[in-house]
Amino acid sequence: MLKIVRIPVLSDNYVWLVHEPVSGETMVVDPAVAPPVLEKAEELGWKISQIWNTHWHPDHTGGNAEIKQATGCTITGPAAEAGRIPTLDVQVKGGDVVRLGDVTADVLDVPAHTAGHIAFHFAEDQAAFVGDTLFAMGCGRLFEGTAEQMFGNMRALEALGDDTAIYCAHEYTLSNGRFALTVEPDNTALVQRMAEVVALRDRGEPTVPTTIALEKATNPFMRATSVAELAARRAAKDAA
């Protein structure tokens, strides 16, 4: 069973430290910055051997070089964005399999936020690291892709199963939930979830990871029934 530790950095980013206890191998997902990651790994007695990047944005790759220099780790990321991640050692795409110690993860192509965005799915551990594609009650902005691609991403992630834990890269849940309520004010599951989110944030506690089941019940982008509906909701959220 993987051990997964959340590291809050910058204003609202989460870096994920993932430890496979049988082999003792440790991996970092999307390190925005290096020092807090290196400090947490040292505190836990974990040696970082890999970094996995979901996409090229600096708040997901900014710590790559420093962590690599400190640990000698191998950096894996999207082949389609290799030109924008100069620290990359291993290029992967959808359908590939990556390994952390004794466990493997499937690589999923989830373009839209960026053109080559990928996600990593540990099927046995029912965990997916999705970068900026799916958030708690939200989805990533369509910076380099289309609503059609994002709609496809929602279906692909939905297919991972209700119990799959979704490890996204930002604490956007409160603002996402406020928007979701404008879309579905009578969604009782959403109203209840927002009350829980407000209470958590009032205590300074995180709201992620989330689950596919929760997103199917409360996320306006996963709940969109057509590309056009998702596009309209994304445009409205961007303008909010």
Could you say which of 30, 59, 117, 121 is catalytic? 59
Long-range contacts formed by 188-193: CB under 8 A, 24+ apart: 189/217, 189/218, 190/137, 190/217, 190/218, 193/137, 193/217, 193/218
Could you say which of 19, 30, 117, 132 is catalytic? 132
Q: Any catalytic annotation for residue 170? A: yes
Q: Any catalytic annotation for residue 121? A: no
Could you say which of 19, 30, 55, 109 is catalytic? 55
Give buried/exposed letters for 23-35 (b at 16+ CB in 10 A, else e): eebbbbbbbbbbe
Q: Any catalytic annotation for residue 117? A: no
Please tell me the distance from the alpha carbon of residue 143 to that of residue 60, in angstroms, as a whole number. 15
Could you say which of 19, 30, 57, 109 is catalytic? 57
Q: Any catalytic annotation for residue 12? A: no
Could you say which of 19, 113, 117, 121 is catalytic? 113
* Cβ neighbours for 99, distance < 8 A, ≥ 6 positions apart: 105
Q: Is the dihedral of CA 7, 16, 72, 114 positive or negative?
A: negative
Could you say which of 19, 60, 117, 121 is catalytic? 60
Q: Any catalytic annotation for residue 132? A: yes
Could you say which of 19, 117, 121, 170 is catalytic? 170
Residue 18: its H or E element: strand 13-20
Q: Any catalytic annotation for residue 113? A: yes
Number of C-beta neighbours around residue 1 at 10 A: 10
Q: Any catalytic annotation for residue 55? A: yes
Catalytic residue list: 55, 57, 59-60, 113, 132, 170
